Amino acid sequence: MKRLLFVIIAVAALYAGYWFVGSNGATAGFERWFEDRRAEGWVAEVESIETRGFPSRFDTTLTGISLADPDTGVAYSAPFLQIFALSYKPEHLIAVWPKEQSVSSPFGKAEITSDDMRASLIVKKNTSLALEKANYTTDAVTLQMDNGETFGAAKASMAIELNPAAQNAYHFGVNLKDVLLPKPRGIRLEAGILPKTLEFARGDVTAAFDAPWDLNALQSARPQPTRINVKLIEAKWGQLELRLAGAFDVDTTGRATGQITIKAQNWRDILAVSAATGAIPTQLVRPFEQGLSLLSGLSGNRNTLDLPLTLDQGQMKLGPIPIGPAPLFRLR
């Protein structure tokens, strides 16, 4: 009996030592990450880093976070960030964000508010911590832009999973419900008044990159897309419905080549909304409408559009109609 008691005490002492070393290692790892970013010229400030959770968890809380990457112009600040892991399964992480945080980029600044924003992350058991699987969820998320526009969703979720069938390929699933967008003003729609929110927006996409998403992707160069396969992207806003499917390759400069099929219900209203939001130049609206009216008439339904969007070395055509340069698919 004494021998058994001795074994139990010894095992408990060893485990306590393991937890102590692991918790100190977690704290030191985060401290080193901030130091390395400052050495690279970042603004990388954190008021405190503390790890608790004995005996079964490593629960790290970072408070007073301020980050800014001079190369990309992206900055982030938050009162805290919590990262949890089981002490016996440290490759599975859970992150919890505060209700208020701030992100800025060359495109503008956003004040973000949300309820219960969190993510689950599983990485490979190696020094690069390459991503294997991730899930992100939040409720009542709102982005208040510095230009006065507001974006948001009642619920938002995203799942990412490594696709073992292809090199550096990841499957993305995105689901947004009751999506709030800046409502275009001064337009008349054939299908009636737009509701305040989109009923849904969701996507099922697989993307291949030139490098894995791992620790190096956060610390230095972002992996760049090489091929994007859109199984389905769809959205519904009142009587307006839009569906996209197809695939395209992306070269080293970010130019796309491939084809996406677009199916649009009440496409004239979608065109009007696009013009009102600046997505399509005003001077092109009339030529687009004339050309698309002819094409939709050939399909037998004047309100429905079913056309290929052709991407060729960075240029776009909708059906036979050239519509100008495609966006560059480059990650900063």
Instruction: Domain ranges for the chain, please list them.
Output: 1-106, 113-332
> 37: which 2 tokens?
């970013």
Cβ-Cβ contacts under 8 Å for 321 (sequence gap 6 or more): 287, 288, 291, 292
Cβ-Cβ contacts under 8 Å for 115 (sequence gap 6 or more): 99, 138, 139, 140, 141
Apex 253 CA angle, 252 and 258, nearest 5: 80
The number of CA neighbours under 13 Å toward the Cβ of 188 is 0
What's the CA gap between 39 and 212, in Å, rounded? 24
Output the pLDDT for position 319: 82
Output the pLDDT for position 11: 43
Could you list the pLDDT tens digit for every one of the 332 residues in the chain?
555 444 455 444 444 454 555 566 678 888 998 999 999 899 999 999 998 877 778 889 999 999 999 988 899 999 999 999 887 788 899 999 999 999 999 989 999 999 999 999 999 887 788 999 999 999 999 999 999 889 999 999 999 999 988 899 999 999 999 999 876 655 555 555 678 888 999 999 999 999 999 988 877 788 999 999 999 999 998 888 999 999 999 999 999 999 999 998 887 777 777 777 666 777 777 777 777 777 766 665 677 888 899 999 888 888 887 878 888 999 87
What's the CA gap between 190 and 272, in Å, rounded? 10
Output the pLDDT for position 298: 60
What's the CA gap between 220 and 40, in Å, rounded? 9
Cβ pair 179, 195 in contact under 8 A: no
Output the pLDDT for position 185: 57
Output the pLDDT for position 15: 44
What's the CA gap between 254 and 331, in Å, rounded? 9
Output the pLDDT for position 98: 97
What's the CA gap between 102 and 114, in Å, rounded? 12
Output the pLDDT for position 165: 86
Output the pLDDT for position 269: 79
**Residue 280 CA: distances (Å) to CA of 22, 147, 286, 287, 296:** 54, 20, 11, 11, 19
Burial of 305 (0-12, 13-18, 19+ CB in 10 A): buried
